[in-house]
Structure 1
Amino acid sequence: MSSGASNGGASLCRFDVLVAGGGPAGCAAALSLVRAGARVVIVTPVVSPGWRVGESLAPTARPLLERLGLLDRIAADGHAPCYGNLAAWGGDALTGVGYQFGPYGDGWHLDRARFDAALRQAAQAGGACWHAGRVRSVQRHQDHWRVTTGEGGVLQAGYLVDATGRAARLARRVGAVLVRSDHLIAVAGLLGPPREGSVELERTSLVESTPWGWWYTAPLPGGERIVMAMTDAELIAGLHLLDPGVWWTQVQLAGHIRDRIAHGEGPPQWLRVLTAGSSCASPAAGTGWAAVGDAATTTDPLASRGIVTALATGLAAAQAILSDRAGETDALDAYARRIAAVHAQYLNAQAAQYRREQRWDTPFWHRRH
């Protein structure tokens, strides 16, 4: 194994694997690698505390969390249960998919900051080093990478893991191309908890289509509610959805969403704009590197698989790196092929889902039919 420590002041710190990004995908990869004996450093910027957009985590995450040794902790960490998903899609009536009869039980409505912190703490407790900062440059030198961070640190690693999110900053620097399929945008608002004496929160997520896109809402563990308007980036200005007043008026036109938020405190004081389109790194891995999570494959929030994909790709990339180190020269290419195949399968499923909604003759839906 390599030796060295991340102390910020050393001229050169050596690791087996450098993970760029400290979200769920990066931490899943790091935790798997350190448990296999690799020396790992996670390079990630310091995140300012504040509102994080929550997510619903499907029950299919349970076996992945169990592999990471984190299932019991997450289950006991105060996240709210999620009993399934409801949708008004292709018609006015609500249809749903319940989790209670599935093989894994219920999912969760996450406190994202708490969830991310649990994975980060587990990775550090397992032995991963932490380097606060961003990757500024990478250079390949025979059998290793030389990485310079924005703070002037110089790190050496045999492998790189890109967990930088949708931007795939590291993968693009080493030659990957980011292939985007659409330009979906989320305009998210956080609503306060229900007024005193109101009915108990519904523990399902809800989607409702509209002529210009669709709405999503889910409760959060603290009683607040996330509500997101989903549309294409080029339609935002004409819809004026960045104006909280207009955004709130549009919420009231979506009957099921309006009913779900009726007992909450609104409108939101401000809105957050998030990129939500689908993309894939091509390739998602190569000699000495692999992309994970959103850096490898991003999916429409309609698919409800963002964190599940993050955990699964983190685990799979870690195994590919360990196999490559053991002499399986096709391991990283096989991982890249797997990512490409999974993303292609997802795109087919996404197209079929959008074709189910045929009620509106509008630009948003024209692009998806």
Structure 2
Amino acid sequence: MNGPPVDVAIVGGGPAGAAAALTLLGHGRGVLVLEQSRYAPPRFGETVAPPAEPLLRRLDAWTSVSPDMLPCGGVDSAWHADDLVERDTLWVPGGLGWHVERARWDEALIRLAERRGAMLVTGCRVTGVSVVAGGGWRVHAGGTTWHARFLVDATGRRAELARRVGGHPRSAGSEVALAGRWSGAPDRETRLLVEATPGGWWYLAPTPTHRVACLVSDSEALRELRPPPLAWRRELARTRHVRERAPAAAPALRGVRVEWRWLEPCAGTGWLAVGDAASTRDILSGGGMVAALQSGISGAETAEQYLRGAADALSRHVTRERRRFLAHVRQSAAWQLGHRWPAAGYWERRTRAAEAVIRHLEGTAGSS
């Protein structure tokens, strides 16, 4: 079965894909969004940094998502010392931010794009992509073949679409996040808690309906701790503050690789990647959602320029994404300074990984 032709097919309906769709719709483009999930499985909560608000207002999306945002009451940080320090923000300046239930928040954003005219297909996976003679692409998904003039990969860290059309993911480090959630909407406690330990660091945050705790370490530090609940219990016991708020018995845990990863190149003839598909941000920065929205908007503007005939639009996207990622890794390396265990194995490995990424990106900057 053939679907109607579209200007742009976006694979992935998370924040970056939704931002790209809303931006392209604003230019009058025909947009198709293919999303593998149905937004039903729980997605671990996230704290949205304050700079997201002007981006959402630019997309005219603020009123659609703000009801699902719980204002953050501040940040309690045990980073430089054992005692908690109360802060108005963590690393990203500009206010307190909000806690969100990601599945509900992501769906609200993409449904807004659907109401504005995007074709949205959920519960489907791309099974094939091929070049069309004379220009454009055939995209096979969910038993339907779609013809698109341009492709946007918003599939997150997997970069599934880009892998099919010439992108090559690179990574450094072996960071792993063990995240657990348990029921119980917050009453008064809406603050984000961050605590460093010799073997990694923790954050604990509420969402509008649950609480979430996450241990970030690396595969080497966790190698001898199997299964994951054992790692959770041991590392939780090494905290001073998180253990007072998180359950000692590990909730259902989800393990996710969160090392630095980037795509080379992140654009090519007739396609580009946005969000985590282009480069993943360090979750320590607290700016992942902002970066996804920024990347989705700028990637969509690049696609619009390309469709209008700008020959250098894609190369400029590659340069811009590389520079943003390099600036992020440099800043992230600076953010981690000041914790109490600079010589601990995990922190040394993390520093070396950041240095390796910076050397590589600086070495390729001249080829942009």
Normalised TM-score (structure 2):
0.87
Q: Deviations over 1:198-242 (max 9, x none)?
A: x944322121111111111111112x3100111112332313360
d(CA) in 2 for partners of 1:31, 1:214: 36
Paired residue secondary structure (2:37): coil
8 A Cα contact 1:89 1:356, kept in partner: yes
After the TM superposition, which of the residue ranges 138-147 and 28-37 deviates more from structure 2? 138-147
Counterpart of 1:88 (choices 78, 82, 85) is: 78
Counterpart of 2:240 (choices 255, 260, 275) is: 255
d(CA) in 1 for partners of 2:220, 2:93: 41
Counterpart of 2:129 (choices 125, 138, 160) is: 138
Q: CA deviation at 1:348?
A: 0.9
d(CA) in 1 for partners of 2:89, 2:336: 23
1:129 counterpart residue number:
119
2:219 counterpart residue number:
233
What code does the residue aligned with 1:226 have?
A: V
2:294 is aligned with 1:312 = yes
Indicate how the Cα distance of structure 1 residues 96 and 138 shifts in structure 2: closer, same or farther if over 3 A, else same: farther
Q: Normalized per residue, which structure has more helix?
A: 2
1:64 counterpart residue number:
55
8 A Cα contact 1:62 1:71, kept in partner: yes
Paired residue secondary structure (1:178): strand
Q: Where in structure 2 are the equivalents of 1:1-369 lying within 5 Å?
A: 9-10=1-2, 13-47=4-38, 49-75=40-66, 77-99=67-89, 105-132=95-122, 133-141=124-132, 142-149=134-141, 151-193=142-184, 200-222=187-209, 224-240=210-226, 242-243=228-229, 247-261=232-246, 267-359=249-341, 361-369=343-351
Paired residue secondary structure (1:43): strand
Paired residue secondary structure (1:324): helix
8 A Cα contact 2:39 2:103, kept in partner: no
Q: Deviations over 1:120-164 (max 9, x none)?
A: 110100101023411122222342112222x33211111100001
How much identity, in percent, do the aligned residues show?
A: 36
d(CA) in 2 for partners of 1:332, 1:270: 42
Indicate how the Cα distance of structure 1 residues 322 and 54 shifts in structure 2: closer, same or farther if over 3 A, else same: same
What code does the residue aligned with 1:311 have?
A: L
Indicate how the Cα distance of structure 1 residues 87 and 213 shifts in structure 2: closer, same or farther if over 3 A, else same: same
8 A Cα contact 1:83 1:106, kept in partner: yes
Paired residue secondary structure (1:49): coil
d(CA) in 1 for partners of 2:231, 2:289: 31
Q: CA deviation at 1:105?
A: 4.5
Paired residue secondary structure (2:294): helix
Unaligned 5+ segments in structure 2 are: 352-368
Unaligned 5+ segments in structure 1 are: 1-8
8 A Cα contact 1:240 1:247, kept in partner: no
1:6 counterpart residue number:
none
8 A Cα contact 2:166 2:268, kept in partner: no
How many aligned residue pairs are there?
348
Q: CA deviation at 1:49?
A: 2.1
8 A Cα contact 2:156 2:275, kept in partner: yes
8 A Cα contact 2:341 2:347, kept in partner: no
Q: CA deviation at 1:33?
A: 0.8
d(CA) in 2 for partners of 1:115, 1:269: 23
Q: Deviations over 1:251-271 (max 9, x none)?
A: 23311212344xxx6634421
1:5 counterpart residue number:
none
